Structure 1
């Protein structure tokens, strides 16, 4: 989608502090940048920085080779600000480690605001089971790049 039209993705969306969101973002051209253990851990560090900065409270996440799923409770920023800060910090950290792939992330992201009737634990299980469904591991416990507050 041309950048000039990317604003249409956000039309009608708003960020509500305290609300739970499932976010998904993809690497540029789905390059498997995070197959590398150390690169994936740089992404994990930036997820934790978002929590420390009080932008959100991470409930569950998984860093896949070419994308990220992230279940959060939004704090005092908009979703756009949260994702812009996260993507910027990860790109800077990865470039400092010698990653020359430009850009790192595709523009935009997908968000889903959880409804009251949706089970948060069910959504978290869906997120952390991603490596299993993708055939990367036989057990979720064998995949190193995920976390959930319930475990």
Structure 2
């Protein structure tokens, strides 16, 4: 497999994403989502590889907005993915790959991009018509952002402080996705 073209730098934000092979589901039930979130905690947070700024797990893909803390981030992501695939395959008596390719990464190099990306991530389930409102999707960090759920996984303080309150962030997200300047961020679901 060719080397990744992006060079990870500590102290920078990255949009990390991946999807199922042939766009197939990577999460079949609530336990799958919960297990993946636990692995994020184990391999990224507990190893001090990255802070999770925002996340959304969808049936056939995931999005993570991370702030890199250590040079071993890529190795930690690899361990997370391998651990999840092994557990998934064992649980469903299957073999082979689960993800389409290695995880993808985009450098988030501007504050405005960072804020728009959190909105994009949190609106993914609405865009996919899985729920009517972002707060109805259990497997994203949106509920923490708008004070509907206490949580320790996402570190949303920096983004939320830009909006001065959870309600202001909610209003920002609830604006029509068509008005957002994030068309170039769209992940091909």
Larger-Rg structure: 2
- 8 Å CA contact 1:17–1:74 kept in 2: the answer is yes
Q: What whole-Å deviation, never above 9, does each CA across 1:38-90 have from its counterpart, x for those lacking one? A: 11111111112211111111000111001010000112134532321221121
Q: Matches of 1:99 and 1:137 in 2, distance apart? A: 30
Tell me by how many angstroms 1:119 deviates.
4.0
SS at match of 2:41: helix
Q: Confirm whether residue 142 of structure 1 aligns to residue 142 of structure 2.
A: no
Q: 2:114 aligns with which of 110, 116, 120?
A: 120
Tell me by how many angstroms 1:110 deviates.
1.8
SS at match of 2:121: helix
Q: 1:22 aligns with which of 15, 35, 39?
A: 15
Q: 1:93 aligns with which of 87, 96, 101?
A: 87
User: Considering only aligned residues, what root-mean-square deviation do their CA atoms show, in Å?
Assistant: 2.0
Q: Confirm whether residue 111 of structure 1 aligns to residue 105 of structure 2.
A: yes
- 8 Å CA contact 1:42–1:93 kept in 2: the answer is no
Question: Judging changes above 3 Å, is the alpha-carbon distance between structure 1 residues 99 and 130 closer, same or farther for their aligned structure 2 residues?
Answer: farther
Q: Which structure 1 residue ranges, 5 or more long, are not aligned?
A: 1-5
Normalising by structure 2, report the TM-score: 0.68
Structural mapping, 1:19-98, within 5 Å: 19-49=12-42, 50-98=44-92
SS at match of 2:27: helix
Higher RCO, 1 or 2 (CA under 8 Å, sep at least 6)?
Answer: 1
Equivalent residues, number: 144
Q: Matches of 1:28 and 1:79 in 2, distance apart? A: 23
Question: Judging changes above 3 Å, is the alpha-carbon distance between structure 1 residues 99 and 77 closer, same or farther for their aligned structure 2 residues?
Answer: farther
Q: Which structure 2 residue ranges, 5 or more long, are not aligned?
A: 142-153, 157-165, 167-189
Q: 1:7 aligns with which of 2, 5, 19?
A: 2
Q: Matches of 1:91 and 1:144 in 2, distance apart? A: 22
Q: Matches of 1:75 and 1:61 in 2, distance apart? A: 17
